[in-house]
Amino acid sequence: MITLDEFIIQRQRDFPFATGDLSGILRNISLAAKVVNREVNKAGLVEILGETEDENIHGEQVKKLDDYANRQFIDSLRISGLCCGIASEEEDDFLAFDEKPNLQANYVVTFDPLDGSSNIDVNVSIGTIFSIYRRVSPLGPCKEIDFLQCGTEQVASGYIIYGSSTMMVYTTRNGLNGFTLDPSIGEFCLSHPNIIMPKTGKYYSINQGYMANFKKGVREFVKYCQEKDEATKRPFGLRYIGSMVADIHRNLITGGIFIYPSLSNHPKGKLRLVYECNPMALIIEQAGGKATTGTMNILDLKPTELHERCPVFMGSTALVEKAEDFLVAYKGQ
């Protein structure tokens, strides 16, 4: 059995000039994840369900667990002394850590501390998503440009799924590996080495309730998924949890496509480029899948602001390309 910590150290040895800072950040993220997992698991028993009195920058009511997870990840990264700052989906602006070791640190971390907020109070899977970038500003307090890098610049990304079991899945651009938390020893253990996603799949994941607000290309792709065809094993099954982490995790393992498209009332969709789309796009690509906006690779987008949103088509390559064909065929409609 290989624990996450052992695995991180083994991988670090593959890079003779590695300083160990990235490994340290990954370990501190996994530590915060264990603490969040503990609270998620006893959520119904303690006063942690429900909403705080605050609204976040997206105009959404902040849940108590959102807030708790946000604070855990911030504190854990600050204490590491290895990270010069963070940007969180729950914070209005990035935070530049001003302690001496952090000012000299080379990395910034972006995260969505608890994704799938609408599922928190109803005992459905939720997750944490993170990205790690090397800073581009000189040593000292980090700057906004450190966080507005293209997804291609990610040094690492990953997610934690708090599901029927808790898993951490991450990449340092050298393949994708998954670790399951063994609660009896409190360690994440390697359970899914070298994840490669199927080239095609049998699931499509989209909030079909918004069909009237989709563009024609998306509506036609949904119809394609529902049609009968033995050669392509259609109709596909519709699976939509409403937690991006859980929907993508399933499709990674079984094959499938996850879509959050532009809507007539929300032209850039809902999901955030920096906190959700970029980390997941790197993960999908590392597993051999594809992640686009429908027209462009997500990782090539240059964020212009921290909380920017973008449409998302990600998953098995054959399915994403099929969806893109429909978007081209019905362009402008």
Applying CB under 6 A, the span of 3-11, 111-119, 190-198, 289-297 interacting with ligand AHM comes to 111-119
Instruction: Please report which helix (H) or strand (E) contains residue 246, including its range.
Output: helix 244-254
DSSP 133: E
CB of 330 to ligand AHM, least distance (A): 22
60 binds ligand AHM (CB under 6 A): yes
Instruction: Look at residue 7 and give its three-state secondary structure.
Output: helix
CB of 37 to Mg ion, least distance (A): 17
Residue-level length of the chain: 333
CB of 241 to ligand AHM, least distance (A): 8
Within a 10 A sphere around the Cβ of 12, how many other Cβ atoms?
18
Site string for ligand AHM, 148-177 (x = CB under 6 A): ------------------------------
Query: Which burial class, exposed, middle or buried, applies to 305 when counting CB atoms under 10 A from its CB (0-12, 13-18, 19+)?
Result: exposed
90 binds Mg ion (CB under 5 A): no
Indicate which of ligand AHM, Mg ion, none lies near residue 78 (CB less than 5 to 8 Å, by partner kind): none
Question: Of residues 270, 279, 283, 298, which one binds ligand AHM by CB under 6 A?
Answer: 270
Per DSSP, the residues of 273-330 read IIIIIHHHHHHHHHTT-EEESSSSBGGG---SSTT-B--EEEE-HHHHHHHHHHHHHT
Query: Nearer Cβ to ligand AHM, position 60 or 220?
Result: 60
Indicate which of ligand AHM, Mg ion, none lies near residue 207 (CB less than 5 to 8 Å, by partner kind): ligand AHM
Torsion of the alpha carbons at 282, 285, 287 and 289, rounded to the nearest 10: 140
CB of 11 to ligand AHM, least distance (A): 28
Q: Who's near 40: CB < 8 A, 6+ residues apart?
A: 65, 126, 162
DSSP 209: G
Query: Nearer Cβ to ligand AHM, position 81 or 113?
Result: 113
> Bridge partners of 167?
161, 180
67 binds Mg ion (CB under 5 A): no
91 binds ligand AHM (CB under 6 A): no
90 binds ligand AHM (CB under 6 A): no
CB of 233 to Mg ion, least distance (A): 31
CA proximity to 314, closest of 305, 304, 324, 306: 324
Indicate which of Mg ion, ligand AHM, none lies near residue 242 (CB less than 5 to 8 Å, by partner kind): ligand AHM
Site string for Mg ion, 109-138 (x = CB under 5 A): ---x--x-----------------------
Q: Give the position of tokens 């996450």.
A: 4
DSSP 119: G
In the chain, the N- to C-terminal Cα span, in Å, equals 53
242 binds ligand AHM (CB under 6 A): yes
117 binds ligand AHM (CB under 6 A): yes
From start to end of 64-106, where are the E strands? 83-88, 95-96
21 binds Mg ion (CB under 5 A): no
320 binds ligand AHM (CB under 6 A): no
CB of 201 to ligand AHM, least distance (A): 17
Q: What does the binding site for ligand AHM look like in residue numbers (CB under 6 A)?
A: 60, 89, 112, 115-118, 207, 242-244, 260, 270
Q: Which residues of this chain interact with Mg ion, rule CB under 5 A?
A: 112, 115
